[in-house]
Amino acid sequence: MTRCNRRRSGPLDDAGDDRLSPPGRPELQQILERRLGRRDLLAGALRSTALGVGLFAIPTLPVRGATTSGTDRFEFTEIRHGIDGTHHVPPGYEAEVLIRWGDPLFEDAPSFDPDNQSSRAQARQFGYNNDFIGFIPLQRTDDTVTRAVLCVNHEYTNEELMIPRLGPQERTVPPFRDMTAELVGIEMAAHGASLFEIVRVDGRWRVDRAAPRNRRLTVGDTGFAISGPAAGSARMATRADPAGRKVVGTVNNCAGGVTPWGTFLIAEENFNVYFSGDIEATGAEQENHLRYGVPVEWYAWGDFDDRFDISVEPNEPNRFGWVVEVDPHDPASVPVKRTALGRMKHEGARCLASKDGRVAIYMGDDQSFEYLYKFVSHDPVNPDDPSANRDLLDSGTLSVAVFNEDGTVSWKPLVYGQGGLDERNGFTGQADVLIETRRAADILGATPLDRPEDVDGDGLGNVFVLLTYNKAREAAQVDAVNARARNRWGQIIQLHVEGADHAADTCRWSVLVQCGDPKDASVNATWNPATSENGWFSCPDNCAVDHRGRLWVSTDQGMEWKTVSGTADGLWALETEGPRRGTGKMFFRAPVGAELCGPCFSDDDTTLFVAVQHVAADGARDYPGFGRDSSYEDPATRWPDFDPQLPPRPALVAITRRGGGKIG
């Protein structure tokens, strides 16, 4: 989310059971294969062994780097830096738009009609600003997945590009002028997530609007349960929910994750921007709210819905900023906000298997000087019965990272009664520790990072942490992991987890690459010299490790694309081991004004899904030949339709190889 970056400074500167039974429930075997396939490919004939001893039984494996030669592991012709109104893929690849903002998700949903938008229609259509993409296979033909369910997050809205005749407006206080209850309703319905089935016919993916799993989650209509240690706390209670156990809506859903038992995790990131009102009226919550940047009044929701006015509902912000678990196989199920995973501006929630069978979830808190967290479940995953894992994420240990100068990481547990997290510091129980995760992490001495964004791992104990940038870091605040002051380019940190023991309280770390222009000595970028003039990038944001254990990184440079790279955002392959470690290679380029999210590989690696977010929006002023802010009537591009009657639209793109085969 970069809109907040450009308008403001300060805290926002970065601103199987019966219920789950068929038809079409993915076989547990398929879930197992999904989680094991990557390790299988890396470690040789592991699959049969691992299946024999349990889902997460990972022996200590040699890291493949020991045998990697200096050859390029990525087989595609690199594309070039640049910027224009459309997307680009390497020769031999096809990129097809799968679904766009406003496309109907159900057989009876209305078609996209931008001149006659309504909250009712939007709640039945694909939402705005697609970010996380989760993929769970449902059917296979031979080795190819032919039906899957996707979960796509809708992070926020760009009204100036959504609503006709609103004009190019700056988000200032008060927010967008001339908002009405119906416009706010459209905004709320455009947030949340879309879950839907896709089918592959003749090699091409299509949305199946008649499929039983199709579902929208929105801010206005969807009820969520609150579970875990903070559920039922008096600090979670509101007039509508005196028990503090249920909440309407999810907001600012950024990246996410897929659990080994086949549910999706969607992360609530910049929840603070939806709240307005008088901070003084929030009494004992005042310090807590300020720590999270509440209120901001970026949206006018508080004027139309008391939930978002902290003067009326001082506890409502405590009910946002969580990781939400949703079961895609039961569209009537109530999604759950899992408080054991902490409250922060959650970028994502990547699940990795720990060697003892438990699940580890790595999570960045995306703001300058915030922290990296890890949740490890108390109990092991039950690989035989998905329903047995239904409440697995309600108990476990949340820890925060301290990066030591000696190349180790110490994970500090956020546990009530330990390390000063007690009455002396105002914590009366674990609910307080979790509601005020940030303050608890402060007390534990966590290492402030350069905006921790997405995280993913290769199943062998290599975990990649993307730090996007931090312009506010001063020279006196530089340390080994955040080595540059006024960091505008970001870096990628690699965690080395011995034996994939993610429950361990320590691991090693190293810098994979400091991003930015390698030709500019003042940037102090650390690319492998094998990197071409198109292979480097700035502002890493989202990532995916494919099923061969290879890292792919997408970028979000925001308004500053021109000065931090001069190229549009995109997707790069990045070597992580061997002599070519730190070599980037450009694969996809987004249209002007867009950041690139997703990315997500199908289980067979034959399709790469990417999410093109806020196309035409960011940095249009610096787009040669355009030179002004985009508006609905006058956008920098009308991707992906290029129809003069239609605005630019965030959309999902499915990338495949002509003639088939694995990506890259």
Task: Report CA 515 to chain centroid distance, whole Å.
Answer: 20
Our finding on whether 611 is near ligand FEO (CB under 6 A) is no
Determine if 370 is a binding residue for Ca ion (CB under 5 A).
no
Residues 6+ apart with CB under 8 A from 503: 354, 356, 358, 360, 376
Minimum CB distance to Ca ion smaller for 490 or for 582 = 490
- Residue 309's binding partner among ligand FEO, Ca ion, none (Cβ under 5 to 8 angstroms by kind) is none
When the beta carbons of 74 and 264 are compared against ligand FEO, the nearer one is 264
- x/- site string to ligand FEO, residues 528 to 557, per CB under 6 A? -------------x----------------
We find the least distance from the C-beta atom of residue 366 to ligand FEO, in angstroms, to be 4
Smallest distance, Å, CB 269 to ligand FEO? 5
The answer to whether residue 453 forms part of the interface with ligand FEO (CB under 6 A) is yes
**Residues with Cβ within 8 Å of residue 294, at least 6 apart in sequence:** 272, 275, 279, 310, 317
Q: Smaller CB distance to ligand FEO: residue 58 or 217?
A: 217
Token pair for residue 631?
């508006």
**Residue 137 preceded by cis peptide, ω within 30:** no
604 contacts ligand FEO (rule: CB under 6 A): no
Counting contacts by CB under 6 A, is residue 269 touching ligand FEO? yes
Q: What's the rounded Cα separation, in Å, for the pair 442 and 431?
A: 17
Binding partner of residue 325 among Ca ion, ligand FEO, none, CB cut-off 5 to 8 Å per kind: none
Least distance between ligand FEO and beta carbon 543 (Å):
12
13 lies in the binding site for ligand FEO (CB under 6 A): no
* Residue 556 interacts with Ca ion (CB under 5 A): yes or no: yes
CB 353, CB 55: distance < 8 Å: yes
C-beta separation of 469 from 450 below 8 A: yes
Q: How far is the CB of 344 from ligand FEO (least distance, A)?
A: 11
Only one residue has tokens 């990697």, namely 68
Any contact of residue 365 with Ca ion (CB under 5 A)? no
> Are 616 and 640 spatial neighbours (Cβ–Cβ below 8 Å)?
no
The set of residues, in sequence order, having a beta carbon less than 8 Å from that of 566 and lying 6+ positions away, is 81, 83
Tell which residue, 652, 613, 559, has the closest CA to residue 5: 559
What is the closest distance, in whole angstroms, from the C-beta atom of residue 132 to Ca ion in the complex?
9
Q: Which residue number has the CB closest to Ca ion? A: 556
On the question of a cis peptide bond just before residue 174, with omega within 30 degrees of 0, the verdict is: yes
- Name residue 152's beta-bridge partners: 133, 194
Residues 444 and 422 sit within 8 Å (Cβ to Cβ)? no
């994970």: which residue's tokens?
A: 411
Interacting span for Ca ion (CB under 5 A) from 88-96, 195-203, 445-453, 566-574: 445-453
Q: Considering only residues 13, 366, 604, 618, which one is a binding residue for ligand FEO as defined by CB under 6 A?
A: 366
Distance (Å, rounded) from C-alpha 61 to C-alpha 555? 31
Provide the token pair at 245: 């156990």
From the list ligand FEO, Ca ion, none, pick the one residue 195 interacts with, judged by a Cβ distance below 5 to 8 Å according to partner type.
none
What's the CA gap between 553 and 347, in Å, rounded?
15
SS3 state at 558: helix
- The answer to whether 292 touches 272, Cβ cutoff 8 Å, is yes
H or E element in which residue 370 lies = strand 368-370
Q: Does 450 bind ligand FEO (CB under 6 A)?
A: no
Choose from Ca ion, ligand FEO, none: what does 155 bind? Cβ within 5-8 Å by kind: ligand FEO
- Contact between 345 and 292 under an 8 Å Cβ cutoff? The reply is yes
Q: Output 457 or 490, the one with its CB closest to ligand FEO.
A: 490
Pattern of binders to ligand FEO over 290-329, x per CB under 6 A?
Answer: ----------------------------------------
Give the shortest CB-455-to-ligand FEO separation in angstroms: 12
- Min dist CB 482 to ligand FEO, Å, is 17
Asked if 198 is part of the footprint of ligand FEO (rule: CB under 6 A), the reply reads no
Contact flag: residue 467 with ligand FEO (CB under 6 A): no
Contact between 605 and ligand FEO per CB under 6 A: no
CA distance 131 to 136: 17
Q: Letter for the amino acid at 414?
A: L
Q: Which residues pair with 640 in a beta bridge?
A: none
Question: Least distance (Å) from ligand FEO to the CB of residue 612?
Answer: 14
On the question of a cis peptide bond just before residue 518, with omega within 30 degrees of 0, the verdict is no
Question: Which residue number, 250 or 377, has a Cβ lying nearer to ligand FEO?
Answer: 250
In the list 33, 78, 103, 155, the residue contacting ligand FEO (rule: CB under 6 A) is 155
- Contact, 562 vs 568, CB < 8 A? no
CA dist., res. 77 & res. 567, Å (int)? 18
- Of 456 and 605, which CB lies nearer to ligand FEO in the complex structure? 456
When asked if residue 569 is in the footprint of ligand FEO (CB under 6 A), the reply is no
Examine residue 541 and tell whether it contacts Ca ion (CB under 5 A).
yes
**Closest separation between CB of residue 193 and Ca ion, Å?**
15
The tokens of 191 are what?
């947030």
User: CB 33 → ligand FEO: shortest distance, Å?
Assistant: 30
Q: Among 145, 161, 188, 254, which residue interacts with ligand FEO (rule: CB under 6 A)? A: 254
* Size of residue set near Ca ion by CB under 5 A: 3
The CA distance from 509 to 384, in Å, is 34
Q: How many residues does the chain have?
A: 664
**Closest distance of CB 254 from ligand FEO, Å:** 3
- Selection from ligand FEO, Ca ion, none that 546 binds (CB < 5 to 8 A by kind) is none
Which parts of this chain interact with Ca ion (CB under 5 A)? 453, 541, 556
Which parts of this chain interact with ligand FEO (CB under 6 A)? 1, 155, 254, 269, 347, 366, 453, 541
